[in-house]
Structure 1
C-alpha cells in the first residue's frame, strides 16, 4: 500500500488527488471565496500554495462540493513563472522606465496564466466559434494587433503573448525604449479589457475574477509595489487579488509612494498566528489532516491511537508544564486573560527538554501533540516525520496492515 502520508508540492499533484487529500479550513472560507483583496501570510510549507490552488478554477470546477462554479473564478499565478524572471528593466536607471517595463511583463504573465487556466478547462466553458471570433475581433481592435487564426481562443491569445514578449525583449535589449513604450501593456489598458471581453462567454457573464499571486516575496521590490498599486483600486466588481507571501512583514508601499491599508484595501490572513497547543486552531486542523489520510488508507484507528504517546514522555511533559505554570504565576501575579495558559503552552515542553539529565537517552518524539509542536505550524513538517515513521514501521512489521506507529519507533 502507498504511504498515505506522502507530501508533495501542491502543483505536482493531480486535480483528483488534490481534491481527495485537501482539508478545507472553514475559518478562512468566507474571505477566500469573497471579492475582497486578501493578503495570506505564512512560512514555507504552511499551506499557502495549497490554499490558493484549492480556490483556483480547475479545482473548484472539478470539486463536487462546489455548486456555484463560475461565481468566483480563481486564476493561480505562481511567482516562479519564467516571465517574472525577466530582467530587462535593470537596463534603465530611471525608476519610471523600470516601472513601465515591469508592469508590461507582469500583464503578459497575468493574461498568460488566465489562458493556461482556460486552455486546460476550455470544454467547461461551452465556447462557440462565434463567441471566440467576437472576443478576438474586439481584442484585435483594442490592442491594435492581429491574433493567430485556425486555433482555439486561448491558444491564439497565448501565441500572441509569446510573440509580444519576444518582441518587447528585442526592443529593450536594443535600447529602443521609445518604440517599446508606444505599445507597452499596463493593467488598465490590457488586463482589464481582457477580463471584460471574457464576459462575452455566457458562463462567465456574472463571474468575478480572483487573481492569485503566489509567493510574492520571490518578486522584486518594483514588482511588489506595482501589485500593491493594483490592490489599491477601489472597484472590485470585476476582479480582486489574493496574494500569498512568506514575508512576515511585507511591504505595503505602492509604485507612487503611497501605501495600502489593512482593513481598507485588503484583509490579512496570518497563518503564523496559529498557536500550537492541543486546543489550538492548527492542532485541530493537523488532526483533521492525519485523520483524513487514515481514512483514505483504510486504517481503522483514531489519530491518538495511531500515534500513541510514551507514558514516561507524558509524565516528563506534565512535570515540565507544571514548572512552567509556577514560573508563569511568578511572572504574572495578576494575570490577564489566558496569560498563564499561553506561557505554559509556550515554555512547558522546552523546560522539560532543558532540564533532562544530559546523560539520559535521546527523548522519543512520540504522540500526536509532540508532532504538532515540532511542526511549528507547518503541515509539511507534520507529515514528513509521520511519513518516515510509517515507512520504518512497515519495514519492521510482518503485516501489510499498519494500525499504529509505536512510541519507540
Structure 2
C-alpha cells in the first residue's frame, strides 16, 4: 500500500502496485493530461514512455477491480459507453524472456515463445476472473463449463501431466477457476524444465502442449466473453514493460495485432520506444501505425508551466497532498523557491524590460526578457560566489525531464529529510529550499555516477568500454553549457542541446557512444527540420536531471549548438580541450541555430 500519511510523495515499483488497494489507485489517478481516452479506444495501441512515466499505474487503473470501484459494480461498468475487460500482463524480467530460448532453432523458438506468451496471458486472465470480480458474480455451472471448454483447446495427450498437477490441488468441478489457473502454471513450468534440460543436453525433447493465436488465444477470449454473457465487451490485454521481451516474442505480439480482432481481443503494449526492437510479424509482414495500431507517447520534451506534463504533475502531487492530510495542498507553497533569488529574478526582469526599450534590442520584449533573465541571475550568483539553489515546483518539474517518477522520488527524499530534522508529518507545511537543493544536487550527481553502473550489467562486453567515453562526453557538454550560461556576451546562454554537423565517419565509435547515451537517458533524441531542407536531423537534448550537477539552467530551450563529429570525439576523451576548441569557435562568432518550437 502507498502510505501517503507518512509521505505524500511515496512511490512504488510497478510490481508492488498489485498490493495497492483498487480504491487507492482510483483515488490517486489523474485522468486529465494522460491521454486516457485514447488508451481506452477499441484499437490496438502502443504506449511509449520511459520507466517511471506512469504507464503501469494507468494500466492498473484500467483493471476490472478499479473499473468496478469507479462505476460501483461490474454490471454498471459493462453497461457503460466504453466497456472492456482489462487483463494486466506484466513482462517480468526472466519469466517470459528466458535466455534458454536462444538454444532453439528459429522455428522452435517461435512456437515455444508463442505458447509461453499465451499461457502467461491465460494465467493472468484466470487470476483476474477469480480475484477481481465479486464473490458469486459468475454462475458456478458456467464456470465449470468454461474450464472444460478451455481444456478442450489443448491436445488431450500433451496436457495429461498438467491436468494431474491441477487436480492434485483443486477439484475442477468445485474450483474451476483455480483448477484452470494451476493448469496454466503447470504448463509454464513444463516449458521451464524443458529449457533447463536443453541447456544441459542437446538431446532434450519437448513433449508438452503448444498453442497459437487462432487455436487458443482468440477462442480463450471468446469464451471469456461468453462467460460474462456479454459478446459486445472486448478483452483488453495490457502487456506492460514489453521491452523485456525478446525480438521473436515481440514478433508474436505484432502478429496478434495484425489480425485486427479488436471486437474480441485488443492489445495494449507499454514499452520504452528504443527497446521495442521490431514491428515485423512472425510471417515477416509488418504492422503499420494507423492501419494496425495507434500510438501514445508518455514522454514529453517540453515542461513549461503551460504544457501538459507540468499540468499533469501539478494535479498528481496536489491530489497526493490532499489525500495525505498535510496542512498545505498548494504545491507551489509546499515547494517554495529561495526567496531572495526570486526577488532578484523579478528585479532583473524589470531591468531587462527597460534595457530592451532604451537600447532598441531586436525581437519582442517578452522573448528578450525570457532569454536572458535566468542567465543574468546565474551570472550574478556566480560572480558573488553564491551557490544557485535548485528549488521550487516549476524548477523541479523541469529537472524531472518529462518523467513523473523523477519528480516524485526526489520529493519523497526531501520530505523524509524534513522528518529526520524533527518535524512531525502533520506539522510540515513546506520543504525548505535548502533541503530541496541538497536532494536535487545529490540526485543529479548520483545519476551521472550510478546510471552507467546499473546498465553495465546488461551490456554486451564489447560495449562496456564506451561507458567511460560517454561519461567524459557528458562532462564535456556540461562544462561547455556552463561556460555559455555564465558568459554575459552569449547570444544564447541557456543552450542545453546539440546537433551534429556532418556525417559520423564509418570507422568512428561515436555512434556507439551516442546510442549508449540515449539508452542510459543522458540524452533525449528528437528530430528537427533543417533550415536547408532535405529532411530531418537528430537533435540531442541533455537530460535536465544533470542540471544541478553542472550548475545549468534546466528551463531553457531557446537554442541548440552545432558540433562536428571530430569535436565530439575530442569530447569523449578530453573535456578541457573540447571546451577550449568550441569556445574558440564561438569567439569567431559562428552563428547559433535559433530554436523554434515545432508542433
Cα displacement (A) at 1:262: 1.3
- The equivalent residue for 2:102 is 90
- The equivalent residue for 2:386 is 361
- The equivalent residue for 2:8 is 4
Residue-by-residue CA offset, 1:334-388 (whole Å, 9 max, x unaligned): 99xxxx97x969x986886588527733322221101101111111111122223
1:153 to 176, 185, 200: 176
- The equivalent residue for 1:137 is 148
1:269 equivalent to 2:299? Answer no
Cα displacement (A) at 1:81: 6.3
8 Å contact kept, 1:61–1:69? no
Cα displacement (A) at 1:119: 2.2
Structure 1: 5+ residue stretches without partners: 327-332
Residue-by-residue CA offset, 1:203-222 (whole Å, 9 max, x unaligned): 54432111011111111111
CA RMSD of aligned residues (A): 3.3
118-127 or 241-250, which moves further after superposition? 118-127
1:162 to 185, 188, 212: 185
1:300 and 1:56 mapped to 2: Cα distance?
Answer: 32
Look up the SS of the partner of 2:216 in the other structure: helix
Look up the SS of the partner of 2:406 in the other structure: helix
Instruction: Go from structure 1 to structure 2 and tell me whether the alpha carbon gap of 1:320 and 1:334 turns closer, same or farther (over 3 Å shift).
Output: closer
1:334 and 1:255 mapped to 2: Cα distance?
Answer: 56
1:361 and 1:383 mapped to 2: Cα distance?
Answer: 28
Residue-by-residue CA offset, 1:66-100 (whole Å, 9 max, x unaligned): 852572111111110654043443222x3122111
Say which structure, 1 or 2, has more relative contact order (CA 8 Å, 6+ apart): 1
- The equivalent residue for 1:382 is 407
350-359 or 306-315, which moves further after superposition? 350-359
2:411 and 2:291 mapped to 1: Cα distance?
Answer: 42
Look up the SS of the partner of 2:427 in the other structure: coil
2:51 and 2:375 mapped to 1: Cα distance?
Answer: 24
285-294 or 113-122, which moves further after superposition? 113-122
Cα displacement (A) at 1:53: 1.0
1:133 and 1:31 mapped to 2: Cα distance?
Answer: 36
2:91 and 2:319 mapped to 1: Cα distance?
Answer: 30
Q: How many residues align?
A: 392
Flag the structure with larger Rg.
2
8 Å contact kept, 2:146–2:223? yes
1:295 and 1:36 mapped to 2: Cα distance?
Answer: 35
Cα displacement (A) at 1:276: 0.6
Instruction: Go from structure 1 to structure 2 and tell me whether the alpha carbon gap of 1:202 and 1:44 turns closer, same or farther (over 3 Å shift).
Output: closer
Could you state the TM-score of these two structures normalised by the residue count of structure 2? Answer: 0.59
- The equivalent residue for 1:22 is 29
8 Å contact kept, 1:291–1:302? yes
2:265 to 234, 239, 262: 239
2:216 to 158, 173, 190: 190
2:293 and 2:322 mapped to 1: Cα distance?
Answer: 38
2:117 and 2:350 mapped to 1: Cα distance?
Answer: 51
1:225 and 1:321 mapped to 2: Cα distance?
Answer: 58
Instruction: Go from structure 1 to structure 2 and tell me whether the alpha carbon gap of 1:127 and 1:369 turns closer, same or farther (over 3 Å shift).
Output: same
1:123 equivalent to 2:149? Answer no
Instruction: Go from structure 1 to structure 2 and tell me whether the alpha carbon gap of 1:344 and 1:238 turns closer, same or farther (over 3 Å shift).
Output: farther
- The equivalent residue for 2:398 is 373
Look up the SS of the partner of 1:142 in the other structure: coil
Cα displacement (A) at 1:297: 2.4
Structure 2: 5+ residue stretches without partners: 356-361, 436-599
- The equivalent residue for 1:330 is none
1:61-80, aligned counterparts within 5 Å? 61-64=68-71, 67-69=76-78, 71-80=83-92
